[in-house]
Amino acid sequence: MTPYLYSLCLPLYRNALRLAGPEGTLLNEKRLKAALITGAAKRIGRAIVEDLAGNGFSVAIHANSSIDEAEAVAAKLRQEGKYAVAVKGDLTKINETEALIKRAADLLGPIDLLVNNASIFREDSVRKMDAGVWDEHFAVHVRAPSILAAQFAAQLPETSTGLIVNVIDQRVWALRPSFYSYTLSKSALWTATQTMAQALAPKIRVNAIGPGPSIPSERQLQEDFQAQVAALILKQGPALEEFGRTIRFLFETPSITGQMIALDGGQHLAWQTPDVLEIKE
């Protein structure tokens, strides 16, 4: 949607939300803390959305190809008396990424929490380098979070503080040769997390979560996932509800910045990694 069409449609959309919101109220009329979660229509992103919405946040649920699912999640949350909206944007496109924070803030008010959860997981290797796969990973995992962080900082009121949480991967602490572009781009996001924490302090804190196996990847058979979990030193991966809870812990703990919490069942400490065990990820 072009900026012009968006400006025309926004009043209509707000009015629709007034009718659909809790007890007929305008979205976020109570001025709850507002969160934007990228890649949030399903899987870990949806779990984060549902946790935050259930614990006093209004939520903007970002999606691109899964926007219908995001709209359904938002509608369900509003029916439950919570404050939620879906926002669409292609994070591989600079103009759509730049518009995302403003779009969410127009509907919810200033954004207090940005969760860069959107991720892609396409296979390549050093020997089979794919420039298209490389560009897509770095666009979504590095460029988009950097653009969103800048926009987040610009919209935050002078008297407010904020938090950015980047969802990375424990493998940046336990490197292995598979998924080359994915690993490099997530490693760059971990470096960006620490650099952002330095640059945006003291008003904005920047932290990260490093997930391990929580649910099977979209390319993974159940038996491969179970074998992956069995190789963890804790013999269990993180439950979905742990992600939102950890983000709320970071939000409520103002002395933490530039850190990554590995929710991974100890995978970053394991020696029986999927590549060694020949487990498909």
| pLDDT at residue 273, rounded to an integer | 66
25, pLDDT greater than 50 = no
| pLDDT at residue 278, rounded to an integer | 62
Please state the domain extents for the chain: 3-277
1, pLDDT greater than 80 = no
Q: How confident is the model at residue 275 (pLDDT cuts 50, 70, 90)?
A: low
Q: Look over the chain and give the mean of its residue pLDDT values, rounded to a whole number.
A: 90
pTM over 0.85: yes
Q: How confident is the model at residue 42 (pLDDT cuts 50, 70, 90)?
A: very high
| pLDDT at residue 157, rounded to an integer | 97
CATH number, domain 3-277: 3.40.50.720
7, pLDDT greater than 70 = no
| pLDDT at residue 279, rounded to an integer | 66
Q: How confident is the model at residue 219 (pLDDT cuts 50, 70, 90)?
A: confident
Mean pLDDT over 103-128 rounds to 96
Better pLDDT: 18 or 159: 159
Per-residue tokens: 73: 């999640």
| pLDDT at residue 23, rounded to an integer | 43
What is the Cα–Cα distance from 106 to 118, expressed in whole angstroms? 21
Mean pLDDT over 122-141 rounds to 96
| pLDDT at residue 29, rounded to an integer | 63
| pLDDT at residue 145, rounded to an integer | 99
58-104 pLDDT, tens digit per residue, is 999 999 999 999 999 999 999 999 999 999 999 999 999 999 999 99
112, pLDDT greater than 90 = yes
Q: What percent of the chain has pLDDT over 90?
A: 77
